[in-house]
């Protein structure tokens, strides 16, 4: 199979969808890999490294897309790439279609087979291709939140862990999944007082056992409002696989928060879990809501591409190999987890949550 790897074009997206190690495996399995020149530079990977692994370097995005039977990306195509979509192409990337009607319509119109990393799901309901990016986003959320808390950045001017004789900052994490756990662990490590809110009592018990000193609350509108009123930093990490994120933090709750408090919305790729959230970029990451600061960068792991690119290929490569070696139909038939990744095919939305989000027929 011919596999294409274009340069990512989203703002400050320095990840790339395949490493030289992944290229080497695919080439040795008999496939051809076509990498756009410069695609790996943001992740510290040169064109020569890809050539040494057996890839062909192509000059343009048109060539990387046009030669491919299977196109690997990190982030979803944006408007300037819609013209590359076609009905004999399989696209494998993070898509987050429930939050992107325009892309959903473009994929339907083009007849592209669109497979989303974030909806590949194992029998235990875990998301193996979202897991590593959730780990990174969770850890980064505290880093970027604590930076935004600096008074020079408009924040409250508090240090998460304080120092002896001063109070520690209060961090509230809404959602106790992978991203939420890593956010909580990072905040605890920096000395913050941390509360995790989740709907699952077994999960809250597990987190309390894993992280002594962690406080937990069962999720309700009342509990969220009460915790936010005392919070310095809020991390939103609520995920419903493939669906738009629920708006758990209302405008009214934010209006009652401390001036200079910071809210980081990890769920922004799926529309965000705060009322008033809108996607931002690494160039311009924050905006004000009442007297608080929202951080809503939609590709947070793109800030650490050397880590994120390698973590992503580690997770995706077995699935890429299966699709390339068997074709989509056989690969999906052999692996029910991979089959759940299909979002659009032959002009039809196959994932009910996406169809429901946009009023399309499934």
Supply the residues annotated as catalytic. Answer: 96, 269
Question: Half-sphere exposure (CA, 13 Å, Cβ side) for 247?
Answer: 12
How remote is the C-alpha of 330 from its chain's centroid?
27
Axis crossing angle, helix 305-334 with helix 20-28, rounded to the nearest 10: 30
- In whole angstroms, give the CA distance from residue 354 to residue 358: 7
- In whole angstroms, give the CA distance from residue 113 to residue 135: 28
Query: What DSSP designation does 234 have?
Result: E
- In whole angstroms, give the CA distance from residue 195 to residue 152: 26
- In whole angstroms, give the CA distance from residue 242 to residue 301: 19
137 closest CA partner among 291, 320, 283, 270: 270
- β-pairing verdict for 292-295 and 262-265: parallel
DSSP string, 108-175: HHHT-EEEEGGG---TTS--TTTHHHHHHHHHHHHHHHHHHTSGGGTS----TT--TTSPPPEEEEE-
338 closest CA partner among 68, 116, 72, 88: 116
């Amino acid at each position: 199979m011919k596999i294409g790897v274009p340069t990512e074009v989203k703002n400050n997206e320095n990840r790339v969808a395949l490493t030289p190690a992944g290229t080497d495996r695919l080439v040795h399995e008999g496939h051809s890999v076509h990498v756009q020149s410069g695609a790996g530079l943001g992740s510290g990977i040169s064109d020569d490294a890809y050539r040494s692994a057996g890839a062909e370097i192509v000059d343009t995005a048109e060539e990387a897309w046009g030669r491919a039977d299977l196109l690997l990306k990190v982030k979803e195509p944006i408007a300037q790439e819609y013209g590359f979509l076609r009905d004999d192409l399989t696209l494998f990337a993070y898509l987050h279609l429930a939050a992107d009607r325009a892309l959903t319509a473009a994929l339907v119109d083009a007849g592209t087979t669109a497979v989303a990393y974030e909806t590949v799901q194992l029998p235990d309901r875990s998301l193996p291709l979202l897991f590593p990016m959730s780990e990174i986003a969770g850890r980064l959320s505290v880093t970027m939140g604590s930076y935004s808390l600096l008074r020079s950045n408009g924040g409250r001017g508090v240090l998460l862990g304080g120092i002896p004789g001063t109070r520690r900052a209060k961090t509230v994490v809404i959602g106790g999944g992978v991203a939420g756990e890593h956010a909580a662990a990072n905040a605890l490590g920096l000395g913050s007082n941390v509360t995790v809110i989740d709907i699952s009592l077994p999960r809250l018990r597990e987190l309390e056992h894993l992280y002594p000193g962690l406080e937990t609350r069962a999720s309700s509108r009342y509990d969220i409002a009460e915790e936010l009123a005392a919070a310095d930093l809020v991390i939103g990490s609520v995920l419903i696989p493939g669906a738009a994120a629920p708006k758990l933090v209302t405008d009214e709750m934010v209006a009652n928060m401390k001036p200079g408090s910071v809210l980081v919305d990890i769920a922004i790729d799926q529309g965000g879990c705060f009322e008033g959230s809108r996607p931002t970029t690494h160039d311009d990451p924050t905006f004000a809501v009442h007297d608080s600061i929202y951080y809503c960068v939609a590709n947070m792991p793109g800030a650490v591409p050397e880590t994120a690119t390698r973590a992503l290929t580690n997770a995706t490569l077995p699935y890429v190999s299966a699709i390339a070696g068997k074709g989509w139909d056989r690969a999906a038939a052999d692996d029910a987890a991979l089959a759940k990744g299909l979002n659009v095919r032959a002009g039809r939305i196959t994932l009910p949550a996406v169809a429901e989000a946009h009023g399309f027929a499934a």
